[in-house]
Amino acid sequence: MKTDSKRCSRQASWLVFAGVFLSPSYALAGEGPFFVTYTHQMEEPGNLEITTKNVTGKPTGGERFLGSALEFEYGLKAWWTTEVYLDGQTTAHDSTVFTGYRWENRFRVLPREHWINPVLYVEFEDINGADKSLLEVVDNDGEADLTGLNSENRIEKKREIEAKLILGSYFKGWTFAENFIAEKNVRHAPFEFGYAVGISRPLALAARPDRCNFCPENFQAGVELYGGLGTHENFGLFDTSHYVAPTLGWTLANGPRFTVSPTFGITETSARFLLRFAVSYELDQFGRSARRLFRNNGVGQ
């Protein structure tokens, strides 16, 4: 009986994946072309967006690395989006390691759209010191954190709670976003702060009538600026890293979105140059499809 139930669950899982990946249904992915900055756009209820965010660079005195984060973003409600990240990295002449996971939740505060729209963000992350996904910059994070051996860096455990205040606005096709970040290690260490701001715009505001890959409305260009702001004991810009990153997003007519962002460090402690790139795909009404498949297969009965 148990074996039957297991087999059934396995079949259902395969069906879910086959169903959603072979399904022609899709939606445009995500929240603009940003890598670090969040806008106030929430994931649509029931949609699942899968993204791989990558960053590569060669820090001074270190080896070239590729940091990766695999992101699963799901719209639970119109006002609540939840995400899980799986992080890993590979360093040349060293090793490839899994560096931990993050679970984040975003809550839209105001029911209507205003000239500025707040969203609250809460995240728990359980990563180690070898993590190089650079999904945010806080405190005195800098180029030195990207060097060293994986075997030594991964000993350091980082179980942290992170909160963000996300502010976003849309004005005449432009997207403006401002994030204020506070992070705290659950064991010790002071509160650490950071910021991220971004601005973007599609290359055309009105859509063309034909289905096309190279329509200008499929491209979004922008720039983001982010960095650390020290700790509550040592708040400010002294000895902190800051980056400026032009960014370009391109969405294909059948759904996948590609984003690339050359990133330039603008202070002494920042990495000189990083290249970020991402691929994302949004599965429309994943929740509904999964529920229907489980119901049709009698799983859980």
Partner 1 sequence: MRRLYAVIRAASFLLLATAAWARIGTLVQQAPPKSTAVSDPFEGQQQAQLAGAKLFARECAACHGLDAGGKGKVPPLNQADVREAKPGALFWVLRNGSLKRGMPSFAHLPEPQRWQIIAYLKTLKRR
Binding site for partner 1 (CB under 8 A): 25-28, 31-32, 39, 41-42, 44-47, 75, 77-79, 108, 111-113, 170, 172-173, 175, 202, 205-211, 217, 284-285, 288
Least distance CB 63 / partner 1 (angstroms)? 39
Tell me whether residue 62 or residue 168 sits nearer to partner 1 (CB atom): 168
Least distance CB 137 / partner 1 (angstroms)? 25
Least distance CB 111 / partner 1 (angstroms)? 5
Tell me whether residue 41 or residue 263 sits nearer to partner 1 (CB atom): 41
Least distance CB 124 / partner 1 (angstroms)? 24
Which of helix, strand or coil describes residue 132? coil
Residues 6+ apart with CB under 8 A from 244: 223, 224, 225, 263, 264, 266
Give first-to-last CA distance, the chain, whole Å.
13
Q: Indicate left, alpha or beta for 230 from its phi (over 0: left) and psi (-120 to 50: alpha).
A: left
Tell me whether residue 113 or residue 152 sits nearer to partner 1 (CB atom): 113
Rounded CA-CA distance 116/250 in Å is 26
Least distance CB 121 / partner 1 (angstroms)? 17
Instruction: Tell me how far CA of residue 248 lies from CA of 49, 101, 167, 263, in angstroms.
Output: 19, 27, 21, 12
The answer to whether 283 and 28 have CB atoms below 8 angstroms apart is: no
Tell me whether residue 41 or residue 240 sits nearer to partner 1 (CB atom): 41
Rounded CA-CA distance 33/194 in Å is 20
Tell me whether residue 208 or residue 272 sits nearer to partner 1 (CB atom): 208
Tell me whether residue 108 or residue 242 sits nearer to partner 1 (CB atom): 108
Least distance CB 45 / partner 1 (angstroms)? 5
Which of helix, strand or coil describes residue 69? strand
